[in-house]
Chain A
C-alpha cells in the first residue's frame, strides 16, 4: 500500500464549480498534513496546512481532515482556470525524533472555462 495515495486524474471541473481533491494515508501516527499546488515546470507551492480533525478554510480553499478514516481532502470553491495545476498531498510523521514528509503522486486538476 502506498504511504500517501491520490487519484492522478485529470479531474475536470467547469469554471465556478467546486473541485474536490482527495488523499488517503497509511500511517496512523501521521501528524501534519499539507496541500501543495504545482504548475507545470514549476516548484510545488504550499497552499494549505491542517493539523487537527475538521475543516480549515482559507479564502476559496478548505482542507478537511479525518484522522480516524486517514483521509484528507482539499475543496476549491469557485474554481478558476488559474487553479489548473497538479495538487500534491503531503503527510508528516515522526521518525526517530525527526519528522519525515511523504508526498503523494498528485492529482491533476483542469478547470474548463
Chain B
C-alpha cells in the first residue's frame, strides 16, 4: 500500500537553529499538507499546498515557516530560528481529490 514517507523520525535541535523536515507524498496525490501536534493536544493545520503553491495557511504558519516542493517527489517544511514551543510532532499528509488524507509517520521535533 502506498505510503507517505517522512524523515527524520526524530530531530533534536538547539533553540534558534533552522530545521528542515522532509516528506515524500504518495506519487499520484495532488494535495499536500503539514500538520503539527503538540504532545497531548489536537492535530493543528499548518499549511496546504496544491499546484506548486500554498493554498491556505493557518495563523501558526508565520514567517518562521516555509514550504517547498523542490522536485517532483519531495515536500519540505523549513522552520527558521526554532523556539522551544515549536517542539511537537509534525505530520505530512497527502491526498487525491475527494479522499481522506494519508498521513506520514511523523517527525518528532525537540527544541532544546
A residues contacting B by CB (< 8 A) are: 32, 34, 36, 38, 41-46, 49, 51, 88, 90, 95, 98-106
Contacts and interface: CB of A to CB of B under 8 A. Distances in A.
B104 A98 contact: no
A92 to B, nearest CB: 8
B101 A46 contact: yes
Which secondary structure dominates where chain B touches chain A? strand
Contacts of A42: 105-106
B65 interface: no
Which secondary structure dominates where chain A touches chain B? strand
B106 A103 contact: no
B103 A43 contact: yes
Interface of B: 31, 33, 35, 42-43, 45, 48, 50, 55-56, 89, 91, 97-106
Given A43-B103, A49-B100, 15 more contacts: A32-B100, A34-B101, A36-B101, A41-B89, A43-B106, A46-B101, A46-B102, A49-B99, A98-B56, A99-B31, A99-B97, A100-B48, A100-B56, A101-B101, A106-B42
